[in-house]
Amino acid sequence: MNAIVIYFSRADENYFGGSMKYVEVGNTEIAVQHITELTGYDSFKLEMVQPYSADYMTCIEEAKAHLREKARPELKEIPDVSGYDTIILAYPNYWGTMPMAVFTFLDNADLNGKTIYPLCTNEGSGLGKSVSDIKKYANVGEGLSLTGSGVKGAKSIIEKWLKNNKLI
């Protein structure tokens, strides 16, 4: 399998089932660590030139404004996915879909003939409309929704999802 994990993850202050907590590593990045341990796949973190604020409430307002404006925040780098036929795309649910930085990647990557398997961390909002949004860019395999606050203990859930999709 020729696959890569592309992901957007945010550390700093995050929401965990009703309370705020500062984290050094974002939930989505923890999920990606599980995937790379299980598969050995390459991974690439999408990073915005102007990152969201560390404060959670400010961050969600910034993300909401980006969504409303259909913004495409500038990324430090767009990964070259030409050598891969499968992409696991991991991201948190921001306002019912992916962070707009993920759309920046999708708009700028050559996804012709590729299949994307979405993995979305959230605190109860699931995949939202992110799957239908991704379908505008590429073929989409079965997605996985993970509760962000439980992602540290989700390695077996991720492994089952990977096996069910013949990704390992």
Provide the CA 118 distance to its chain's centre, in angstroms.
Answer: 7
The domain that holds 44 is classified in CATH as 3.40.50.360
C-beta neighbour count of 108 within 10 angstroms: 12
137 inside domain:
yes
The string of pLDDT tens digits covering residues 31-73 is 999 999 999 999 999 999 999 999 999 999 999 999 999 999 9
Instruction: Find the helix packing angle between 100-108 and 56-69, rounded to 10°.
Output: 40
Measured CA to CA, the distance from residue 15 to residue 87 in angstroms comes to 27
Domain that holds residue 64: 3-163
Considering the domain boundaries, does residue 99 fall inside one? yes
Q: Is 74 exposed, middle or buried (0-12, 13-18, 19+ CB in 10 A)?
A: exposed
pTM of the full structure: 0.96
Mind listing the pLDDT tens digit for each residue in 65-117?
999 999 999 999 999 999 999 999 999 999 999 999 999 999 999 999 999 99
pLDDT tens-digit readout, 125-135: 999 999 999 99
